[in-house]
Amino acid sequence: MSDGSTPRRVRHPLVGLAVVGVSLTVWWPAFTLGAWGQLFFDQVLTVWVAATATFVVVAFQPRPSPHRIRRLIALAIPSVWLALSFAGRPGGGPILVGIDALAFVIAIAGVPFTSWVLARIFWPDFGDGIPRRIVALGLAVIALMVVASFVLGTQQARFLTCQDFALSGNSNPPGCVDATTGR
């Protein structure tokens, strides 16, 4: 800059959009884990649907992708979990615990990963030129939203009632407070 003015900051609006989008998708699984102590099947199956659809898009992309095989393997993990769930239910035991642990990882980590892959498909240059500190800040905000949502779930009796859960079509989590009795 020869005119003496300060250089303009480069803006990355898509990073903000990605952070908001991923935060919106991970808050409910984190909240339910806090409130009910478990993830609901529909949350994990939602990740499976998104990952499977993204798998098909990545597999049949007309242009070459340098990380296609790694993405396909990662996107197949929810389908592997689903297949293992069919195989592991009758006997239970340690295999079932492992399958449930994989479901937890898929629900929490699968959403951000699938979102990232989709963003890179539709905006191939998304992420290019973004400083690591901006990426780290975005990941930190998402992690903060997950932790805050989990804590809100554990503290739901302080600001929600059983009627709130019933009205929204959910079952009552342990410890919810009845609006009429306060207990």
At 146, is the secondary structure helix, strand, or coil? helix
At 161, is the secondary structure helix, strand, or coil? strand
Cβ neighbourhood burial of 35 (10 Å; 0-12, 13-18, 19+): buried
DSSP at 60: T
- pLDDT at position 87: 67
- pLDDT at position 121: 73
- pLDDT at position 89: 60
* Alpha-carbon separation of residue 136 from 15, 63, 76, 110 (angstroms): 11, 29, 26, 18
- pLDDT at position 66: 74
Helices (H), the chain: 13-36, 41-59, 68-88, 94-122, 132-154, 162-167
For the chain, 183 residues long, give each residue's pLDDT as a single digit of tens.
Answer: 455 566 666 577 777 888 888 888 889 888 998 999 888 888 888 888 988 998 998 899 887 777 788 888 888 888 888 887 776 565 667 777 777 777 777 767 777 777 777 777 777 777 777 888 888 898 899 889 999 999 999 999 999 999 999 999 999 999 999 998 988
- pLDDT at position 9: 63
- pLDDT at position 79: 86
- pLDDT at position 7: 60
Selection from 121, 109, 150, 123 nearest residue 15 by Cα:
123
- pLDDT at position 171: 94
